[in-house]
Structure 1
Amino acid sequence: MPFSTSDGVPLWTLTSGTASSLPPVVIVHGGPGLWDDYAVLAEMLDDLTVVHRFDQRGCGRSGPSELQSVRRTAQDIDELREYWGHERIVVLGHSFGATLALAYAGWYGDRAAGVVYVGGVGIGDWRTPERAERARRMTPPQVDRLDELGEKRDRTPEQEIEFRVLAWFPDHADRSMAMTWARDSAAVDLPINFAANRELLLDVNRWPEGYLAGLAAGLRAPVTFVHGAGDPRSAVNVRDLAAHTQRHTFHLVPDAGHFPWLEQPELFRKVLREALQGCGNKF
């Protein structure tokens, strides 16, 4: 039976793997405003435990929702946890989903067996170095074209793909494959929820200074931080966040960008599986 949240929003979900002595995993996608595209991550883990994926409210294949907040989306995760019948879960978040996963664990501490924080932005001023690195990886005509397309509110399907490619290719460290990987992501026939993107980012920006670090400091569950050394989002900011957690490991993946499983699949798989196995004991 399809799942609907307590306020009536139907969420797209997909489950693979088989329950085991290891805690179940819930993958939390990024964006914000995008969709789950993490079959490869599920395949790295679902021989060890059950793995759940979902599209956040108003995003991808899930139903529409005017309500967009980090707190409400975290509540959705907890309602899914209960729906799937789990006492505790490992939340594996990527990009914005990493922030959401850590926030969930902070707000629902007794229900989080662990956090895997992949490609997040950490704390402090991450935008200034990220923007500089993106600009360095683009030509001036590419920057101009991205700005031009970003101002259009009636992009054609072809222009939408071009816009996504230009926005996403700087995320990859391997410059020879960056355009190919960006085109693969851009070709997904789902709309970006730009309203959700704006609202959720504004919500995070309204948090008081030190709020996320405080959530991290209060976590009792283990946290595994994974970051590509070639991600335009600086690892320094993520290390600063990691320093606040009681139990954490930090993995800087060499020669990898924002999607380290694309550029270092075997190393990333090893780190992911070790992280899950480290969440197997109750604290």
Structure 2
Amino acid sequence: MGVRTDDGCELWASATGAGEPVVLCHGGPGLWDMFGDLDLPARLVRWDQRGSGRSQRRGPYSTARTAADLDAVREHFGLDRMVLLGHSWGAQLALRYALDHPDRVTALGYVSGVGLGWDWREAFSANFEARLGDGFARWEELRGRARDEAEERELAVLQWSVEFVDPTTATAFAERMATPWFGVNHECNAAIDAEDRRTWREDELVEACRGLEVPTLIVDGAHDVRPRTAVDSLERALPNATRVVLDTGHVPWLEAPEEFTAACTRYLLRG
């Protein structure tokens, strides 16, 4: 099903299931919806962000533009209010939307986000290299040169394998994330990352979050290579937040589906 934005961009979107509407915001930026294995007792609305996956490859690329696209998805499906669940960069997008439109969000799921500051990146780089182990040299080689589509996918699978705890199953999980393969939009990723570095300021965001009354569930994977202390200031700032830590890496609904579903059902869904 196609969603047309106010500037004419065509977005892929899909709604399945019944019950309270939950709109999902995938990670990236520049990736696509990977919530195919997510099972919640709700009406799940999935979509590919602008320039990504099955959506039209065109800009402009910015957080504000992506948030406006998210609102177009909400309107397309006739939702006055919705549960908003975002993963990784999508958690940041969902938080930004909730801050701008709290009246349209019944509850916020903030899954594996990286908080409000930038101090996490150095520790992340060290943890990433350590967990990738023998594969780090190949990752560096691929990153450092032009790649064909098969090598693009190989690089992504290598990179995503660090998101899981058990090395015996990590590559299989990463392969699931890369199937189907739509190709990373590096232009989108670079544009929004550069914008975030200019504008995503912890002190301003803490102040804004103090006024956000929307019930918020923060879900962390205890073994995420991104240090979870990065989310502490967000938890402290939000007046109505619950934090759940699961024994997983960065993608908890794949490694601990029952526990993830239980947490989301308990804290996000009213039925």
Q: Percent identity over the alignment?
A: 38
Q: How does 1:130-141 map to 2 (within 5 A)?
A: 130-139=124-133, 141=134
Give 1:192's aligned residue: 184
SS at match of 2:245: strand
Instruction: Select which of 170, 173, 189 maps to 2:165.
Output: 173
Say if 2:142 is the partner of 1:145. Answer: no
How far apart, in 2, do the equivalents of 1:93 and 1:114 lie?
11
* TM-score calculated relative to the size of structure 2: 0.94
TM-fit CA distance, 1:187 = 4.0
Q: How does 1:1-283 map to 2 (within 5 A)?
A: 2-18=2-18, 20=19, 22=20, 24-41=21-38, 44-45=39-40, 47=41, 49-124=42-117, 125-139=119-133, 141-153=134-146, 155-207=147-199, 208-254=201-247, 256-277=248-269
How far apart, in 1, do the equivalents of 2:114 and 2:235 lie?
11
TM-fit CA distance, 1:260 = 1.0
TM-fit CA distance, 1:37 = 1.4
Q: Does the aligned pair in 1 maintain the 2:131–2:162 contact within 8 Å?
A: yes
Letter in 1 for 2:163: D
Question: Which consecutive residues of structure 2, in runs of 5 or more, have no partner in the other structure?
Answer: none
How far apart, in 2, do the equivalents of 1:134 and 1:113 lie?
35
Q: How many equivalent residue pairs?
A: 269
How far apart, in 2, do the equivalents of 1:187 and 1:85 lie?
30
How far apart, in 2, do the equivalents of 1:39 and 1:214 lie?
35
> Cα deviations across residues 119-148 of structure 1 (Å, max 9, x unaligned)?
111133111111111111122x52222122
Q: Does the aligned pair in 2 maintain the 1:57–1:64 contact within 8 Å?
A: yes
* TM-score calculated relative to the size of structure 1: 0.90
How far apart, in 2, do the equivalents of 1:161 and 1:79 lie?
30
How far apart, in 1, do the equivalents of 2:135 and 2:235 lie?
35
Letter in 2 for 1:26: V
Q: Does the aligned pair in 1 maintain the 2:153–2:183 contact within 8 Å?
A: no
SS at match of 2:218: strand
Question: Which consecutive residues of structure 1, in runs of 5 or more, have no partner in the other structure?
Answer: none
How far apart, in 2, do the equivalents of 1:135 and 1:142 lie?
9
Q: Does the aligned pair in 2 maintain the 1:217–1:246 contact within 8 Å?
A: yes
SS at match of 2:37: helix
SS at match of 2:182: coil
How far apart, in 2, do the equivalents of 1:84 and 1:277 lie?
18
